[in-house]
Amino acid sequence: MIPGHLDADLMSALLAVAQGKAPADTVVRGGRLVNVYSEEVVVADVIISHGRVARVGSADRSIQEGTQVIEAAGAYVLPGYMEPHCHPWSLYNPDSLARHVLPWGNTAFVGELLPLQLLLSVEEVLGVLESLQRGHPRWFWSVRIAGQSRQAILAAFPMDNLQRLLDAPGVVQLAETTSWPRILVGNQALLERMAMAKKRGLRVDGHGAGATAEKIASLAAAGFTADHESINLEEALERLRNGYHVMLRDSSLRPDLDGLLPLVQEARGLARLSVTSDGSGPAWLNDKGMIDGIVRKMVRAGVAIPRAVALASLNPATYLHLDEHLGGLAPGRCADLQVLRSFDGEPPEVVMVGGDVVARNGQLVNSWPAWEWQTWADQREPAVLSHAGKPEFYRPSGEPGQIVPVMQFTSAAITRAGEAVIGPDGWAENCVLAVLLSRDGKRWSKAWLGNFAPHLEGLATSYTTSCDYLVIGRDPQAMALAARRAFRGPGGIVVAEGGSVVAALDLEIKGVMSARPISEVLADWLCVDKAMRRAGYPFEELLFCLCFITCDFLPDLRLVADGLLAVKTDQILVPAEQL
């Protein structure tokens, strides 16, 4: 539901209610209104008509027969939260994500579209965006101008497709351009794509992870307007100084907020800060929430409530030119709000979107029809299964005693280039084998992984940032078994152990997203996670570790469809082979 502009009829209707000449549809009565504009908490009624706030104040004249009254005495009444930068396809899908977090006050989302842009035609993507507008959540979109992996940097993003996407309703910005080093060297194709967004007045989200202060400044000169990759105070300040809107991140992708909080507490450049989860695995989402969890953390840290809420509502809405519709409870704004007893961790008593109650006490009410993803996501199994399902495909070909490069994991996201010796059985010592089969079924490449999950027998996953298929393990039988199970449909994540499948998470939607509710996805995911812990996986969030194995903007070695890549030198150490 993208809010439309105020037309004369709506103005007229709101005026009548604002002046007490017509009754309200709904009144939220007597709550402690969190006013993000004046940075106050004041007792006030919220008078609602036609899905918008008509007035904030005393509702005496507005309550008549037919007016729904929601008692909020003693509770906070605050705007719904806006997530300005999320990847709504981390096992969950946009619809299941929104259903899960909407009852916690997260009412507006700016979703990024990488897998949809990679896997669907532009007509299909436009159809998906339109279909999501039929539900209660407010969906806005960030369009990618380039892929996240080497081979997909531009091929999958032709200019005319991008133009059509940029003109789609709800598109508010370009999504993070992870290939910012290419921008720094003046890649014309990327700059032209950025200029397309500038011409339309759209924002240009940056992704300066690991960029030096000088590079951050240069990217601003190229037109980046926001960044969510500050991992410490100095990085956040540097971005602020260079004119960025700075999104402070906290989630299982990276829990960075603790270190960034002083910026909020010191009240510097406050209006140009907002908060984001970026990406969260289903476990973090379930345990800690989305933007709601970040606001609770800020309030616990002593940030004044109106200020903490503004970073999650008014500030992103203003940045995205949506502040006449969203981000605060003032006349004319959409009645997207929460009635929240405290910031201690319980869900809002009431969540409204556009004046409709959509959740109570953590549960959706008046839910919207199921999302019809089946129309564009067929259930065919991937072409690579014929290879990936056979144990002999994983027979190592190394010469005993040979020194081979190893992707040595130092964290869930970072690898260093290491080396290992091929043992008498043809396998690199202390390593597991990773085989990547390209989405198009034409090529495969392989790498040895160190410090990943040394005892892993077999894992197969279709959830990678490049949308390629990945099989990992040290037992060809188990690898083939996992692949057969994972890729018997569009995809999934499967672990095989002791001759059996011990954990399986189906990703019915293009092998990237599950169609099921997050609670069910979570149960399966926890089995995968548990199996991987048994296999020795030592880091935090496994989900992004798996996803990022193909992510060639992260250091040091990555496995991409072209082969084993040394990221900094952009050299292929072990080339891919034809399937």
| Bond before 556 cis per omega within 30 degrees | yes
Q: How far is the CB of 126 from a copy of itself (least distance, A)?
A: 22
Sign of the CA dihedral with 214 first, then 220, 221, and 223 last:
positive
Task: Out of 24, 34, 166, 240, name the contact with a copy of itself by CB under 8 A.
Answer: 240
Going from the C-alpha of 303 to that of each of 298, 311, 413, the distances in angstroms are: 5, 11, 31
Task: Out of 84, 279, 328, 354, name the contact with a copy of itself by CB under 8 A.
Answer: 328
Told to check if 332 binds a copy of itself by CB under 8 A, we report yes
Contact between 446 and 436 under an 8 Å Cβ cutoff? The reply is yes
> Collapsing DSSP states into helix, strand and coil, what is residue 96?
helix
Q: Between 39 and 540, whose beta carbon lies closer to a copy of itself?
A: 39
Q: How far is the CB of 245 from a copy of itself (least distance, A)?
A: 9
Burial class of residue 513 in the structure, from the number of CB atoms within 10 Å of its CB (0-12 exposed, 13-18 middle, 19+ buried) = buried
Told to check if 318 binds a copy of itself by CB under 8 A, we report yes
Q: Between 8 and 498, whose beta carbon lies closer to a copy of itself?
A: 8
**Helices marked H in 411-558 — which ranges?**
476-486, 518-534, 542-548
What's the rounded Cα separation, in Å, for the pair 415 and 400? 25
Told to check if 170 binds a copy of itself by CB under 8 A, we report no
> Collapsing DSSP states into helix, strand and coil, what is residue 390?
coil
What's the rounded Cα separation, in Å, for the pair 375 and 78? 37
Q: How far is the CB of 67 from a copy of itself (least distance, A)?
A: 17
Phi, psi (deg, nearest 5) at residue 46: -110, 120
Binding residues among 183-222 for a copy of itself as defined by CB under 8 A: 183-184, 186, 188, 191-192, 194-195, 198-199, 201, 214, 217-218, 220-222
Binding segment (CB under 8 A) for a copy of itself, from list 33-41, 422-430, 477-485, 570-578: 33-41
Q: Between 19 and 379, whose beta carbon lies closer to a copy of itself?
A: 19
Q: Between 333 and 372, how does the x/- string for binding to a copy of itself read (CB under 8 A)?
A: x---------------------------------------
Q: How far is the CB of 302 from a copy of itself (least distance, A)?
A: 17
Residue 517's DSSP bridge partners are none
Task: Out of 330, 385, 528, 531, name the contact with a copy of itself by CB under 8 A.
Answer: 330
Sign of the CA dihedral with 259 first, then 262, 268, and 269 last:
positive
What's the rounded Cα separation, in Å, for the pair 269 and 497? 53
- Give residue 474's Cα distance to chain centre: 32
Listed in sequence order, the residues at least 6 apart from 194 whose beta carbon sits closer than 8 Å to its beta carbon are: 145, 174, 177, 183, 204, 222, 223
Told to check if 237 binds a copy of itself by CB under 8 A, we report yes
- Find the angle CA(113)-CA(98)-CA(30) to the nearest 5 degrees: 135
Binding segment (CB under 8 A) for a copy of itself, from list 145-153, 254-262, 268-276, 485-493: 268-276
Binding residues among 243-262 for a copy of itself as defined by CB under 8 A: 243-244
Binding segment (CB under 8 A) for a copy of itself, from list 5-13, 174-182, 369-377, 549-557: 5-13
Q: How far is the CB of 230 from a copy of itself (least distance, A)?
A: 13
Going from the C-alpha of 431 to that of each of 209, 259, 472, 540, 541, the distances in angstroms are: 28, 35, 10, 20, 20
Q: Between 17 and 503, whose beta carbon lies closer to a copy of itself?
A: 17
Q: Between 226 and 486, whose beta carbon lies closer to a copy of itself?
A: 226
Told to check if 115 binds a copy of itself by CB under 8 A, we report no
Told to check if 43 binds a copy of itself by CB under 8 A, we report no
Told to check if 46 binds a copy of itself by CB under 8 A, we report no
Task: Out of 124, 324, 381, 429, name the contact with a copy of itself by CB under 8 A.
Answer: 324
Going from the C-alpha of 398 to that of each of 409, 420, 455, 480, 577, the distances in angstroms are: 22, 11, 20, 19, 15
Indicate the angle between helix axes 257-265 and 233-241, nearest 10 degrees.
50
Binding segment (CB under 8 A) for a copy of itself, from list 37-45, 147-155, 375-383, 554-562: 37-45
Which residues form the interface with a copy of itself (CB under 8 A)? 5-8, 11-12, 14-19, 35, 37-40, 42, 52-57, 183-184, 186, 188, 191-192, 194-195, 198-199, 201, 214, 217-218, 220-223, 225, 237, 240-244, 267-272, 318, 321, 324, 328, 330-333
